[in-house]
Every structure is written in C-alpha cells, then in structure tokens.
Structure 1
Amino acid sequence: MRLLVQLVLNLVAVALLCLACAVGWIVVETERGLRAETEASAARVARDLERLYWRELLWRGGLQKTPLLPSPEWRTPAMLAVLAPGLCVSFARGPEARQVLCSQVEGVGRPAPDWFRALHRAAFGPPPAVARPLTVQQRDAGTVVATADPEAAIRQAWERVRVLAGVAAAMAAGISLLSALLIGRAVAPARLIVQGLARLEQGAGGRLPAFRAAEFRAIARAVDDLGVRLARTAAARNALTTRLFHVQEEERRALARDLHDEFGQCLTATGALAAAIEAGAADRPDLAGDARAITEATARMMQTLKGALARLRSQDVDDLGLHAALARLVAAWNARGTRARVTLAVDGDLAALPRTAALDLYRIAQECLTNAARHGRPRHVRVRVACPAGAVGLVVEDDGGGDPARLREGAGHGLLGIRERVDALGGRLQIGPAPGGVRVAVRIPVAPPLARAA
C-alpha cells in the first residue's frame, strides 16, 4: 500500500473515531439537558400551582393551614406554556387520582430510526421522573411529578445528533481532505527519491533536488552520494571487464595459434602417415583398414579443430570487418546442415565502428546463435544489425519456442558473458518474446568518428 493512501486511511480512521466520540458526547449531553429541562419544568409547574394554592387559600377563609386543593382548572394553556416540548406533569392530592398535562411530542423533532431508538433505550433506558412538593410549608398539599416522554427523549437526542453529527462529519471530511492534500504535498519528495533510485538501478545519473524537509534533504544527499559511488564502482568494473575481455581475446588468439601450429600439424602428419601405411599395405587388408580408420578419425578431428579455431579466432573481424565476419558466421551456421536457417540483415555502415564494439558485437551474435540452437528448436533465426545515430543495435530473433523469462533468470555463462560485454560498453540488453520464440536486443552507444579521433 502506498504511503499516502495509508496516511489518509489512518487520518480517516482517526476522524471517524473522533466523530463517534462526538456523537456519544452529544447523546450524553442531550440526556443531561433533558433531565435539567424536566427538573426546570417541574419547578415551574410547582411554582404556578403554589400561586394558585395561596390564592385559593386566601379566597376561602384567610390564612388557615387546612389542606386545600388549588383550582381544578390548572391544566390551562398558560400552564402548558411553561412545559418544555415532550414533557408530562401530573398532580394529585392525597389518594385522589392524578391529573396529567402533556406537551406535544411532534414539536421536538423528526422520528428517530429504529436502530438509534434501540441503541438509546439499551444505553439509557426510560427517562427518570422528577417529583417536587407543591409547597415547602405544607407538603401534604400534593406533589408535582414531571416525566419526559420516552419518544420525545429519543426524538430530541436524534435531532441533536443528526444536526451536530452532520456538522461534525462535514468538518471531519473537510479536515481529512485538506490534510490529505497537505500530506500528499509533504510526501511528494518520496516519489522523486524512488525515481532517483530507479535511475540508479538502470545506471542513469542525475542529482535529486533540494527538498524543504530536513529528513528528505538527508535522504537526497545519501542517494546522491550513493549514485556517485555507484558510478565510480561501475566505471571501475567496466574498465576491468573490458580489460578482461581483451585478455580473453589475446588468450583465444594464442590458443588458436597453438592449436593450429601444434595440434593441426600433428593431425596433418598423422593423416599423411596413415595414408602412407595404407598405400604400402597392399598385401595386408587388415592393416590397410586400420590405416583408413585412422585417416577418417584424423579428418573428423581436423573438422572439429577447424570449428574450434573459427570460434576462438577473431581475425575475421580484424581483417574483414564486422559485416563480412557476421556474413561468414551466418554462412558457417547454415553450412552445418541443421534445420535452422539463419539470415542476416545489416542497415548502415559497420566499418566506422570501433574495434572493441565490433568485436563484442560479433561475440554477442555468436553466443546468441549458440543459445538459439541450445535452448530451442528454431527453424528460422534472424540476425539484424542497425547503426542509428550515436549507437549500434543487434537483434537476434528465433522461432524455437524458448521461454524469455527462463532465459532472463538463467545463470548460464553465455548469457552472463553477453551482459558483461553490454555493461562494459555502457549498453542495454533486452530479452523478450518474439513470434514463436525469443528476441534478444542489444543497443550499444558509439561515439561519433570525430570524437574518437580527438
């Protein structure tokens, strides 16, 4: 998961947690406010009833302390006006039946959904009742009981939760969006650092810009220093690899010369001696047959030696040039009598290539043809060489049904040698699928002739 997405998800989770806490706090405060409103309504009703009580007491005989019932018409619109919406008050004197006065529930708010109603009832239960005596001096005059309607309590809690939670959700969404933008801007240098590391992996250079954050500046400096060290290491490795290939070519030439001078002469002498024995053994058919067998074995060894010398020697590239050397290589492969037919296509002038690049391209083409025959059963192998501006490209395609992924992941010495040669020349190697087989593409940068001359 990307860092920006992870940070935004964490921020959203925190915002949702805060929103849930805010909703819980709103519900609890709503319950407290409802209880306070119930107590205040009970006090207001008791106060008005007490006024009625003393007025009735004065009207009916002075300041006698006999229990008197206030006016039976206390449930008036004036009394209803002192009640908060969704509350009910009741009053009774002694064992008499209680008279109840309730305000409207519809004015509290919208009906709450079933899930909120169930959660509210499970968390808080029914609203508690508040009882107050009619008068302090004469407590047996009656008691006022105020109770919040359960539906009104739920509606009031839902209305506040709906409004305040909507505002809180909008604020949380806005804060999350702005925070995501700021976080995205703050972690944007990470993408540039990753791109710089990818360029280092591909061998490209380039320094990272100076970032505002001290942490990213430190990382950028470390990446730049790593790039400098990698460039030095790569240059030293390429120089060493180039030197090793030069030494390898010299050893191949020396080995080819020794094989030609020593082993070739021995084989030639052996063949001549066997021919002389065969010619002088006219009366010895068994000895003549052995001599012919020696001659045939010598001829096969001579053919094998010629093939080895052709692979070891690079005089064709030095003497004839890369174009003619590749043509000879293709002709030699076609002359083997295998089912694969090799074709060569050259676009551009190969004579202007440096000797090192020409020799390495020849060896790479040689190894690609060997891999095509070794890892598949091709019927057609195409070798193409092109010389665009400032580079030379070699492409070898076959229809042998090989697996490019397996070839890329392989640790064979042939493919390893191709990679080392391409890296030493600062080129690029690509192994991919071809119609029916594998495609190996090599691109090597080449300096212009004037620059080489300078």
Structure 2
Amino acid sequence: MFHLVGRLLAVVLLCLAGAIGWVMIDAHRSIEAETAATADRVSQRLEGLYWQKLLWRDGMSKDTLLPMPDWETLATASVVSPGICVTFAPPGVDPRQLCSQIEALGEPAPAWFGATYDFLFGLQTPQKRYLSIRDKDAGYVVSAAQRDAALRLSWQQVSIVVGVAIAMAAAITILATLMIGHALIPARTIIEGLRKLEQGNLGWRLPRFRTAEFNLIARAVNDLSEELARTNAARTALTTRLFQVQEEERRALARDLHDEFGQCLTATAALAASIEAGAPPDRQDLADDARAITRAQQRMMENLRGALVRLRSQNIDEIGLEASLHQLVSDHNTQASRAVVRLNVIGKLAALPKQVAIDIYRVAQECLTNAMKHGSPTEVRLRVEHMGTERDTISLTVEDDGGGDATHINRGNGHGHGILGMRERISALGGSLSIGKAAKGVRVAAIIPVLGSRNGLTFGGEATA
C-alpha cells in the first residue's frame, strides 16, 4: 500500500511540476501580450493627441510632432498596463518615460524564483511602435515590462496553482490511502490463509470477496487446499500401509531367521560338541577346531538374537508396550558398555491401539540406535508419558549427553533414512516431531495422538543422534 501511495504521490508531484511550468510560461506570454497591447494603446493615444492639437488648436510645433506636456496625463497613464513602462522619444527631444504601478500585481517574488524565471525565460522583449506610419522621423513609443512586474505576476499565479495543487494532492493522498487500504484488506486474509496452509491446516478455506480478482485468487487457493488435503490423505494412507507391510515383512523375516537360521546354528553347535567329545586323544586339533566352531556359533547366535530384537514387534502383542520398552532398554544396556539407557514410563500404556504401540516402539528403537551410533553418550534417557487429561496423546522424549548438532540432524546429513522414517511414521498417526539441542547433547520429542487423528505435522525443536 505504501508503495502504491508513494507512486501516486510521485505522479501528483510530476503533474504539479508540469502545471507550475505551464503557469510560468502562460505568465510570461501574458506579460509579452500586455507589453504589446500597451504599446499599441499608447501610440494610438499619442496619435489622437496630435490630431486634436492639429485640428482644434492649430498649435502644431515645427520641432516636435506632438506637444510634450500634453501626453503625460492621467488619460495616457490609464491605458498603460500595471508593471509596464512607456518611453516616448520625439525627434530632437530627450526620451521621457511613464511607468505604471506594480503593487497591484501582488507580493514580490522570492529571490530563488526570480533566478529560476530569469534562467528559463530571460528578459522581456520591448515593443516599439512609430507614432506615424507615414513619417518614422516623427518619433516612436517603446513599451517594456518591468522585471519585478513579470516576477510578481508569475509568482502570484504559481502560488495560487501550487496552493490548490497541494490541497488536491493532500486530499487525493488521504482518499487514495483509505481506498487502497480498504481494497487490500482481502490480501491480508489471503496471506493468513496461505500461512495456515503452510502450517498444515488444510481444512481452512478463504471466504468470498467483493473484488472479482481477489475472488479468483481465493478460489485458486481453496482449490489448492482441497487438492493438498486429498494428496495428504492419500500419502498418509499409503505411508500407513507401507509401515504395516514393513512390519509384516519384519515379522516374516524374523520368523524365517528364527526357524531356519536358528535351527541351523543350534544343529551346528550340537555337531561341534559331538566332534569335540568324540575326538581321539591323539587328535587334539579336531577338538580345537570344534571349540572354534562353537565360539563362532555363539557369536552368530548373539547377532541373530540382536537382529530378532530389532525385527520383532510381536512381543508387544504378547507382553505389551511397556514390557517391550523395558526389554529394549535392557538389550541396549547389555550390548553397549559405554552408555547407560534409563527408561521412565508415566501413565498406562496397556490400552494403546496396536499400530500406535508398534510405532512408539519403533520410534524409541530408532532414537536409541541413533544415539549410540552417531554420538558418544554416557547416558541416554528415554521417557514415555501417556497424557490423557485434555487430549489422549503419547509423549516420547529421548535425550542424550553425547554432543551432536541438532541443525545437522534436522537437515538429515549423515543419518540416512532414520529421521525421515520417524517423521513419516509419526506423520501417518497425525503426530508431531521436534529435534533440538539438549543440555549436553541432542533431544528428540514426539507427540502422537492415541486415536491417530491427522491434524498435520509440526517439525522443529529438538532431536537425538
């Protein structure tokens, strides 16, 4: 709005400058016209005086065409325009000048205006008229405008025009500001609507406006909002289905590893023990090889158990989310010698829907894995709270003291698809994820609605590495 008003003022000032220039030109031309008209009137007046002297009084002078004392009268002065000086030069006599008063033309012009006027127009051109066209030696009349008279006349007209123009400009500016401000009110509403769309509120719609152009914009924004809502719903449903398929694949893979690979390792351990027990006393090398096979089998079994812990979620159906989290923390404390994981569960987690429980478990699992993998913590705190006072939600927080850069994690640098997977998983449930700095490390905080309501995502804040 301020830009538009500024442009309007620029146009008004440009028009005002043009009007001032035109007034100055018109004043200059008026002075020239008055100078010429005065010369004509005075010459006619003097010529009339000559004929009166010739016919009525028979007093024609041999030296001058017109008796000198008779022309400088009130009647002659009355035909001289204000600010004009008339000079009569009969032959053989010194020229004599008659000037009209200039006070009637207004106040004196400022010095800067006079300098500008002289720079633009220069001095007025005198007008010369011969008293008799038959005899140019009879004398002549010269009419010239006084410089101060031209300045006064021009300044008076410019002052009037500038005063009127300034009043009009002020009125136009005030009215234009009010009209433009009123016309741009829908723009603010549109901007607020776009910001709500940016925040994820896809159910908000713009109202109808009186202006046809803003109505077109509002219609386009509402259509975009509807399309985004449909796209987001389809993406959420697809993401939910993908995670369900992922869980099914994990369970199938865990079952196959346990049934097939686990049995093979068990059989390998039994065979190694049989070889060690049946080795002859003189074949100590066979017993050593059997023990080496047993040690390798034990390491493979430990790795298999760890993989099964990461893959399995069916324990949630069997022992519940809280017990599964305790088992997850216990496994990390057993495997990690440099960091201690502490669990704090607040509220009841037994009645959570299956998919919500699985997602909470997976998010906690990913956060702990990232904390151990990408940082150097000595302590990791996992806190899960069921908040059901105002909204039935689950709050999950993981905080470590292993350093790390939250901004680096938010950008996804060096963390593969783990953070992205957590965001998508929580997004499918209508929750929010925040990643930020903790006291000595980084912190991740997730809010997950128990009913899975999809109110959009809010990312920012804190996370863990």
Alpha-carbon offset, residue 241 of structure 1: 1.7
Which AA in structure 2 matches 1:230? L
CA distance in 1, matches of 2:380, 2:422: 18
Match for residue 234 of structure 1 among 229, 232, 235: 232
- Per-residue deviation, residues 373-399 of structure 1 (Å, max 9, x unmatched): 444444554433342522333333445
1:243 aligns with 2:229: no
- Alignment CA distance shift 1:254-1:92 (3 Å): same
CA distance in 2, matches of 1:124, 1:165: 20
Alpha-carbon offset, residue 312 of structure 1: 0.8
Alpha-carbon offset, residue 362 of structure 1: 1.8
Which AA in structure 2 matches 1:445? P
Aligned to 1:442: 446
Aligned to 2:353: 354
- Alignment CA distance shift 1:240-1:53 (3 Å): same
- Per-residue deviation, residues 50-85 of structure 1 (Å, max 9, x unmatched): 565556656863478974344358667886676555
Instruction: Report if the CA contact (8 A) 1:395-1:440 is conserved.
Output: yes
1:7-406 maps to which residues of 2 (within 5 A)? 7-46=4-43, 49-50=46-47, 53=50, 61-62=58-59, 67-72=64-69, 84=81, 86-94=83-91, 96-102=93-99, 108-112=106-110, 114=112, 116-117=113-114, 119-134=116-131, 140-204=137-201, 205-281=203-279, 283-337=282-336, 339-386=338-385, 387-388=387-388, 389-390=390-391, 391-406=393-408
SS at match of 1:299: helix
Alpha-carbon offset, residue 48 of structure 1: 5.2
Alpha-carbon offset, residue 367 of structure 1: 1.9
Which AA in structure 2 matches 1:422? I
Structure 2 unaligned regions, length at least 5: 453-465
CA distance in 2, matches of 1:145, 1:352: 116
- Per-residue deviation, residues 243-280 of structure 1 (Å, max 9, x unmatched): 22112111111111111222122223323333443444
- Per-residue deviation, residues 213-233 of structure 1 (Å, max 9, x unmatched): 223223323332333333233
- Alignment CA distance shift 1:60-1:190 (3 Å): same
CA distance in 2, matches of 1:331, 1:429: 25
Instruction: Report if the CA contact (8 A) 2:128-2:142 is conserved.
Output: yes
Larger deviation: 254-263 or 430-439? 430-439
CA distance in 2, matches of 1:95, 1:324: 135
SS at match of 1:211: coil
Aligned to 1:409: 411
Instruction: Report if the CA contact (8 A) 1:57-1:64 is conserved.
Output: no
Alpha-carbon offset, residue 313 of structure 1: 0.8
Report percent identity of matched pairs.
Answer: 56
Note the aligned Cα RMSD (angstroms): 3.6
Alpha-carbon offset, residue 357 of structure 1: 1.6
CA distance in 1, matches of 2:80, 2:442: 90
TM-score (norm. length: structure 1): 0.82
Larger deviation: 431-440 or 59-68? 59-68
Structure 1 unaligned regions, length at least 5: 449-454
CA distance in 2, matches of 1:56, 1:374: 128
Aligned to 1:452: none
1:426 aligns with 2:430: yes
TM-score (norm. length: structure 2): 0.81
Larger deviation: 417-426 or 143-152? 143-152
Larger deviation: 125-134 or 247-256? 125-134
- Alignment CA distance shift 1:32-1:309 (3 Å): same
SS at match of 2:143: strand
- Alignment CA distance shift 1:51-1:427 (3 Å): farther
SS at match of 2:208: coil
